[in-house]
Amino acid sequence: MMEIHCIVSGKVQKVAYRYYMQDAAGELKLTGWTRNLTDGTVEVLAQGELDILKEFVEYLYEGSLLSKVEGVDIVWRETKEVYEDFSILH
Protein backbone atom coordinates (compact mmCIF):
# COMPACT_ATOMS: atom_id res chain seq x y z
CA MET A 1 0.00 0.00 0.00
CA MET A 2 1.12 3.52 -0.87
CA GLU A 3 -0.22 6.99 -0.18
CA ILE A 4 -0.20 10.30 -1.96
CA HIS A 5 -0.25 13.69 -0.28
CA CYS A 6 -1.54 16.40 -2.60
CA ILE A 7 -2.11 20.14 -2.62
CA VAL A 8 -4.59 21.19 -5.28
CA SER A 9 -4.71 24.83 -6.42
CA GLY A 10 -7.10 26.81 -8.55
CA LYS A 11 -10.82 27.35 -8.06
CA VAL A 12 -11.23 24.37 -5.74
CA GLN A 13 -13.10 25.75 -2.72
CA LYS A 14 -16.89 26.31 -2.58
CA VAL A 15 -17.31 24.25 -5.77
CA ALA A 16 -17.92 20.75 -4.26
CA TYR A 17 -14.33 19.69 -4.98
CA ARG A 18 -13.88 17.85 -1.65
CA TYR A 19 -17.15 15.96 -2.13
CA TYR A 20 -16.04 15.02 -5.64
CA MET A 21 -12.78 13.65 -4.18
CA GLN A 22 -14.70 11.71 -1.54
CA ASP A 23 -16.96 10.16 -4.21
CA ALA A 24 -13.99 9.29 -6.44
CA ALA A 25 -12.09 7.72 -3.54
CA GLY A 26 -15.17 5.70 -2.58
CA GLU A 27 -15.59 4.48 -6.16
CA LEU A 28 -11.94 3.38 -6.24
CA LYS A 29 -12.04 2.02 -2.67
CA LEU A 30 -9.29 4.34 -1.44
CA THR A 31 -8.95 5.63 2.10
CA GLY A 32 -7.69 8.94 3.48
CA TRP A 33 -9.08 12.46 3.78
CA THR A 34 -9.41 15.88 2.19
CA ARG A 35 -9.72 19.39 3.63
CA ASN A 36 -9.69 23.05 2.67
CA LEU A 37 -6.60 25.07 3.57
CA THR A 38 -6.68 28.75 4.54
CA ASP A 39 -4.75 29.78 1.41
CA GLY A 40 -7.59 28.62 -0.89
CA THR A 41 -6.05 25.27 -1.83
CA VAL A 42 -7.35 21.78 -1.01
CA GLU A 43 -5.21 19.13 0.70
CA VAL A 44 -5.80 15.48 -0.14
CA LEU A 45 -4.27 12.34 1.36
CA ALA A 46 -5.23 9.07 -0.33
CA GLN A 47 -4.09 5.50 0.37
CA GLY A 48 -4.31 2.38 -1.75
CA GLU A 49 -2.58 0.29 -4.35
CA LEU A 50 -0.20 2.11 -6.71
CA ASP A 51 -2.18 1.56 -9.92
CA ILE A 52 -5.44 2.70 -8.27
CA LEU A 53 -3.76 5.82 -6.89
CA LYS A 54 -2.52 6.63 -10.40
CA GLU A 55 -6.14 6.46 -11.57
CA PHE A 56 -7.20 8.72 -8.67
CA VAL A 57 -4.66 11.35 -9.78
CA GLU A 58 -6.74 11.80 -12.95
CA TYR A 59 -9.73 12.71 -10.76
CA LEU A 60 -7.59 15.26 -8.89
CA TYR A 61 -6.88 17.08 -12.15
CA GLU A 62 -10.43 16.74 -13.46
CA GLY A 63 -12.23 18.11 -10.40
CA SER A 64 -15.91 18.81 -9.89
CA LEU A 65 -18.06 20.48 -12.54
CA LEU A 66 -17.66 23.96 -11.05
CA SER A 67 -13.97 23.69 -10.15
CA LYS A 68 -11.02 24.83 -12.22
CA VAL A 69 -7.87 22.97 -11.21
CA GLU A 70 -4.71 24.91 -12.00
CA GLY A 71 -2.15 22.67 -10.33
CA VAL A 72 -1.67 19.51 -8.31
CA ASP A 73 1.47 18.99 -6.23
CA ILE A 74 1.82 15.29 -5.40
CA VAL A 75 4.18 13.53 -3.01
CA TRP A 76 4.24 9.73 -3.28
CA ARG A 77 5.27 7.93 -0.11
CA GLU A 78 4.93 4.83 2.02
CA THR A 79 1.80 4.71 4.15
CA LYS A 80 2.37 6.16 7.61
CA GLU A 81 -1.01 5.86 9.35
CA VAL A 82 -3.72 3.61 7.90
CA TYR A 83 -7.22 5.08 7.52
CA GLU A 84 -10.42 3.03 7.38
CA ASP A 85 -12.40 5.30 5.08
CA PHE A 86 -12.14 8.53 3.09
CA SER A 87 -13.45 11.56 4.95
CA ILE A 88 -13.80 15.30 4.64
CA LEU A 89 -12.05 17.09 7.47
CA HIS A 90 -13.29 20.47 8.70
36 part of the active site: yes
Provide the pLDDT for residue 80.
85
**Predicted confidence (pLDDT) per residue in 2-59, tens digit:** 999 999 999 999 999 999 999 999 999 999 999 999 999 999 999 999 999 999 999 9
| Continuous segment of H or E residues that includes residue 12 | none
77 part of the active site: no
Task: Considering the candidates 9, 36, 79, 87, report the single residue annotated as catalytic.
Answer: 36
Residue 69 pLDDT class (50, 70, 90 cuts): very high
Q: What domains lie within the chain, and their CATH numbers? A: 2-83 (3.30.70.100)
Measure the CA–CA gap between 57 and 44, rounded to whole angstroms: 11
Please write down the long-range contacts of 53-59, taking CB distance under 8 Å and 24 or more positions apart. Answer: 53/2, 53/3, 53/4, 55/28, 56/4, 56/24, 56/25, 56/28, 56/30, 57/4, 59/20, 59/21, 59/24
Task: Considering the candidates 18, 25, 63, 67, report the single residue annotated as catalytic.
Answer: 18
